Amino acid sequence: MGTRVGDWIDQRSGWRDSWNRVFLARIPNISWGHTLGAATLMAVVILLITGLALTFYYVSSPTDAHQSVQYITNVVPLGWLIRGLHHWAASALVVLSVAHLIRVVIHGAYKYPREFTWFTGIALLLLVFGFGLTGSLLPWDQRAYWATEVRIEVFATVPFIGDWLARFLQGGDQLSSLTLSRFYSAHVWLFPLLLFGLVAVHLRLVLRHGISARPKEEPRRDEEPRKREEASLL
């Protein structure tokens, strides 16, 4: 029965071909460093699931935001676990993203024909930082407030557009309810939409060009005649 249903769906969607290309594709000889991309994607999945669960109870209001976070942590069943997973997955995402970037640079995986894969990866890294900036304010406690104040002051130092950028992020001259509303909207709606699009393009490019194997060390020129001589003696 299951096979017949699967065949019926496959004839109309071609899901088996997509499944084979993603999960049954042959990959080159790789190291543990090549798993950083998959680990980063897993952190994103955890963040999306736990973040969705948190939105059922979080209230994006200066008068209720902190209380709603405390309610999630102390009253909601397993709320402390969901919030903890969201917090630590966010920290892991930053570390894994940077480590993945370093691995790509070391192995030269940004070169032809993977330039567009590299560009989308950089865009995803910037988006990760955007998630961190907006999400850090949502608890709306003293630590979140002043940490965001410092970050916005850093943005204000950008040449030419610093003052405008700071006012845009804050929604005015200082942190207010409008700041919290903007950060929440960006964190929950705008950035996830951008994330879905960029991840889809990034994975499509990875499937198209494959995973880059570790670069092999080429023999030095003075070693080549000796190796040919040894091969002829054999």
CATH number of the domain to which 135 belongs:
1.20.810.10
Q: Is residue 187 part of a domain?
A: yes
pLDDT in tens, the chain (234 residues): 667 888 888 888 888 887 777 777 777 677 888 889 999 999 999 999 999 999 999 999 999 999 999 999 999 999 999 999 999 999 999 999 999 999 999 988 899 899 999 999 999 999 999 999 999 999 999 999 999 999 999 999 999 999 999 999 999 889 999 999 999 999 999 999 999 999 999 999 998 887 776 666 655 565 555 655 555 555
Q: Is residue 25 part of a domain?
A: no
Comparing CA positions, the residue from 184, 163, 185 lying closest to residue 172 is: 163
Q: Are 109 and 90 in contact (CB under 8 A)?
A: no
Single pTM value for the model: 0.85
Q: Is residue 232 part of a domain?
A: no
Q: Are 130 and 183 in contact (CB under 8 A)?
A: no
In the chain, how many domains are there? 1
Q: Is residue 206 part of a domain?
A: yes
Residue 20: predicted pLDDT? 79
Q: Is residue 164 part of a domain?
A: yes
Structural domain boundaries, residue 88: 32-211
Q: Is residue 219 part of a domain?
A: no
Q: Is residue 169 part of a domain?
A: yes
Q: How deeply is 145 buried, as exposed, middle or buried, from its count of CB atoms within 10 A (0-12, 13-18, 19+)?
A: middle
Q: Is residue 15 part of a domain?
A: no
